[in-house]
Structure 1
Amino acid sequence: MPTKIAALYDIHGNLAALDAVLQEVERSGVDAMVFGVDLTWGPQPRQVMERVMSLRGLIYFVRGNADREVAECHGVQQGVDAWIAEINAWCHDQLTPDQIRFLLNQKDHVTLCVDGAGRCPLCPRIAQKRRGGHPRGYALRGNRAHGCACSRVDHRLRPHAYPI
């Protein structure tokens, strides 16, 4: 059961930033990583996908709206603005078929059991049921695989986050 998790969100096709963050994550000795939403919608979608797909270990992915739109090549016929449709198509064209399948197979949410995480004191909607008989392992449900179900990142992470 992981005790230290890195949550990486909104990469948006920025390989240099991703590499810099991954170096810090590696030095911090995390047990697991969660990549949340919007890996590809940006200048280097193929390279970012190559990098994240090459990572090994306990890694989870949560699909975002931009990744869904890129993978499914959403255009104006799906109701997006013309300029967004153009970027969606460009990003889609940069990706390999395997990368598109990878995006399409991501989950809409992830539930993690985190050793010692406890419950967020700010959010009563957190799942408190203990899982697997572990004395300190709580099932943590949220729309972005963090400790609580509220929408504020600071609420979800403040009790358990440490800068790296």
Structure 2
Amino acid sequence: MRIAALSDIHGNLPALDAVLADVARRGCELVVNLGDILSGPLFPAETARRLMALDLPTIRGNHERQLLEQAPERMGASDAYARGRLDDAALDWLRALPAALRLGEDVLLCHGTPRSDLEYFLEDVDAAGARPAAPDKVAERAGDADAGLILCGHTHLPRSVQLPDGRLVVNPGSVGLPAYAWDQPYPHVMEAGTPHARYAIVERGAHGWSVMHVALAYDHGTSARAAEQHGRPEWAHALRHGRMPPPARGAAA
């Protein structure tokens, strides 16, 4: 089984289209979507229509939950922009998405960790910023999830960790937003370092699961210009460079 894992599209339709074309070229048997699908100042309605027509195995992320549950006046700018542009069909689609999904007996999809859509799985954050999590922390967050392959998203950084018991945790990185800043639990930035659209291909063979992280060039200029037109220059910088703008590190995803 060869699976293409996509996450954190954030309404970036040019990036999504490039990834889907690459996935088709590589002959993946299944494409899965790990959440944070539409929120952001880009193309939320168009992205929703594209994905609804494909009917991929899809879970919701924290941004889907926030977009559906928070009052408009309490939403962040990215959720509010997307919420104001989605029709009833798109909202109904989001409401129907599960928080987690199992594929067969050996694959688990979650957005953050199996227990929370806001928890970082493969990274730790403290006053010094973000860094890769220690293996024991990753294992603790995996808990008793009974799956040989756990696919997660949320942090926008491509990373894979093999647990001592053999379980493989894979974050494919972000299709649509290669950098963001956040202030919880401490101010920090997550930066992939280049503007590429990212996803991962996982494949089960005779000796277990293999993973290949893909960084794909695409027309990021179109997306950056849309962010600028919609009043989000920090997004435009992240989309062009894969980093947040100095010295003010910008706003959250």
TM over 0.5: yes
CA contact (8 A) 1:8 1:36 kept: yes
Per-residue CA deviations over 1:2-33 (Å, capped at 9, x if unaligned) read x0111000000100000000001111111111
Q: Which runs of 5+ in 1 are unaligned?
A: 116-121, 128-138, 146-151
Corresponding residue for 2:57? 60
Hey, what does 1:144 align to over in structure 2?
152
Structure 2, unmatched stretches of 5+, are 107-134, 162-168, 171-201, 203-208, 215-253
Q: CA deviation at 1:67?
A: 1.4
Once the two structures are superposed, what CA deviation does each residue of 1:36-95 show, in whole Å capped at 9, x if it has no partner? 111111211101101111115xx2111001112223354455xx5xxx1x4323211101
Cα RMSD of the aligned pairs, angstroms, is 2.9
Higher relative contact order (CA 8 A, sep 6+): 2
Pick from 146, 160, 165 the counterpart of residue 154 of structure 1.
160
Percent identity among equivalent residues? Answer: 28
**How far apart in 2 are the matches of 1:24 and 1:143?**
20
TM-score, normalisation: structure 1:
0.67
Superposed CA offset, 1:109-140 (max 9, x none): 1112278xxxxxx769552xxxxxxxxxxx54
Larger strand fraction of residues: 2
8 Å Cα contact 1:111-1:142 kept in structure 2: no
Structure 1 contact 63–107 (Cα < 8 Å) conserved: yes
Aligned residues: 131
Mark the CA change 1:114 to 1:87 in structure 2 (over 3 Å): closer, same or farther: same
1:7 is matched with which residue?
5
Which residue pairs with 1:103 in the alignment? 94
The structure with the greater share of residues assigned to helix is 1
- Contact 1:126/1:141, CA 8 A, preserved across alignment: no
Determine if contact 2:39/2:81 at 8 Å carries over to the other structure: no
